[in-house]
Amino acid sequence: MTVPRRSQLNHLKYLTSTAQSCFDAAFKNTRLTEASQFYSSLIQQCLHTRSLLDVGIVQTHMIKSGYIHLHIGNKLIDASLKCGSISYARKLFDELPNRHIVMWNSMISSYISHKKSKEGIGLYERMVLDGVYPDEYTFSCVFKAFSNLGLINEGRRAHGLSVVLGLEVSNVFVSSALVDMYAKFGRMKDARLVSNRVVDKDVVLFTALIVGYSQQGDDGEALEVFGNMINQGIKANEYTFASILITCGNLEDLTNGKLVHGLVIKSGYEPAVASQTSLLTMYARCGLIDDSLRIFKRFPNPNHITWTSLIVGLVRNGREELALTKFRKMICKSIVPNSFTLSSALQACSNLAMIDEGKQIHAMVTKFGLGRDVYAGAALVNMYGKCGSTEMARSVFDALID
């Protein structure tokens, strides 16, 4: 059986919709390796066209020709997922007679990456019940899902299974995901215990631990972990630097902040947006707002996070008028502020007793659907209260608690 490669899929469409007895007779004599190559090439064409209809045609022909048992089911599922249909991929998955671990992982990771953690966990539990052992990729996905849904007991059970399967500390991919999960649960003692058992630590594991300590407000521990990492000769990445610079800012530790800045330059990460924004924040929190302004000028197109970091830093350092100037410029550039941007701008209005400007920002709070946001609401109450408009302050407060 020889069909020109370019027209294979069109030929198959024709055969699927018309009598195909002659083709089937020839195809049934095709060797398994040739059939596998044939269907693989068709699936590759489906990926190129991103056509879910074509995926269905290939699947239908595989079933009719008796080749559904071929070990290319994952390619069909992968093609369905890349065509944007998790539901069709799941239908294929449920119909396939033999499911390899790769198929399970593809479905589980797709659910989780599409913010369907509950479905991903459900499939993981079914996999375990079916006697399929999870691998390092499975665990790294489901640990993230457990933390997304706050399922600490289920996360602990999965942790136990990873220990039984010998993956907890032997695979840094799994241990890093575990550290990240426990850190998000706020269980830093458990995160540290896992980390301590890992022999070959990498930057991902250390960064997960640093971020966890920083988010829990334990910046001293975060700085200690960073020091241990550097002493072990492990190079920090962009995300490590971004996290530890924020830590130095929280501690108002200018000495270590400058040392980290030097490492950022040496490592070549200074141009990175995350590093620049964290440097801006660190210097602002350490009282060197002019250094923050110099860093901000290096940004060709600052995003809303960078603008917010600068505005927050200016207000923190008593530069309210400049903060409002930057806020207006941000709005003129059509960059949508978040609740932290708006609450900082309102704080500037409060400090300067600028109620008219504050009312304009109040209108923005409403426009962007943040009327019930705690941060924006508290800033509005504070602004109206300090500007002597107690009735408006009470009105905003009542709207928040309704």
The CATH number that applies at residue 138 is 1.25.40
Backbone angles phi, psi at 68, to 5 degrees: -65, -15
Last residue of a domain, one of 146, 179, 200: 200
Residue where the block lists tokens 């996290």: 243
Under 8 Å CB-to-CB from 362, ≥6 apart: which residues? 346, 380, 396
CA geometry: angle at 137 spanning 203 and 205, to 5°?
15
Q: Are residues 217 and 143 in the same domain?
A: no
Same domain assignment for residues 35 and 77: yes
Q: Is the pLDDT of residue 396 over 80?
A: yes
Write out the two tokens for 366. Answer: 């409403």
In the chain, the N- to C-terminal Cα span, in Å, equals 72
> What pLDDT is attached to residue 16?
46
Secondary structure (3-state) at 216: coil
Ranges 10-14, 111-115, 120-124, 394-398, most confident: 120-124
Examine the domain organization and report whether 85 and 129 are in the same domain. no
- For residues 133 and 135, give the distance between their C-alpha atoms in angstroms, rounded to a whole number: 6
pLDDT, position 23? 43
Kindly report which listed range (158-162, 171-175, 316-320) carries the lowest average pLDDT score. Answer: 171-175
Least confident of 59-68, 255-264, 268-277, 377-386: 59-68
Whether residues 86 and 126 share a domain: the answer is no
What percentage of the chain reaches a pLDDT higher than 70? Answer: 82
Amino acid, single-letter form, for residue 291:
D
Q: Tell whether 387 is covered by a domain.
A: no
Q: Could you count the other beta carbons within 10 Å of the beta carbon of residue 34? A: 12
In this structure, of 142-146, 230-234, 368-372, the range with the lowest mean pLDDT score is 368-372
Residue 235: phi and psi, rounded to 5, are -80, 135
Q: Which two tokens stand for residue 184?
A: 């998000």
Question: 248, 256 in Cβ contact below 8 A?
Answer: yes
Residues 349-365: what's their mean pLDDT?
A: 95
**Domain that residue 248 falls in:** 201-273
DSSP character string of 38-101: HHHHHHHHHHHHT-HHHHHHHHHHHHHTT-TTSTTHHHHHHHHHHTT-HHHHHHHHHH-SS--H
* Number of domain units in the chain: 3
User: Is pLDDT at 272 greater than 90 in this prediction?
Assistant: no
> Does residue 10 sit in the same domain as residue 62?
yes
Q: In this model, does residue 255 exceed pLDDT 90?
A: yes
pLDDT-derived band at 97, boundaries 50, 70, 90: confident
Same domain, 206 and 192: no
Cβ atoms of 161 and 189 closer than 8 Å? no
Neighbouring residues of 25: CB distance < 8 A, sequence distance ≥ 6 = none
Shared domain for 207 and 265, answered yes or no, is yes
Non-local CB neighbours of 106 within 8 Å, separated by 6+ positions: 74, 77, 78, 81, 89
C-alpha span between 168 and 137 (Å, rounded) = 12
Evaluate whether residue 376 is within a structural domain: no
Dmax over CA atoms of the chain, in Å, equals 89
What is the per-residue pLDDT for 98? 75
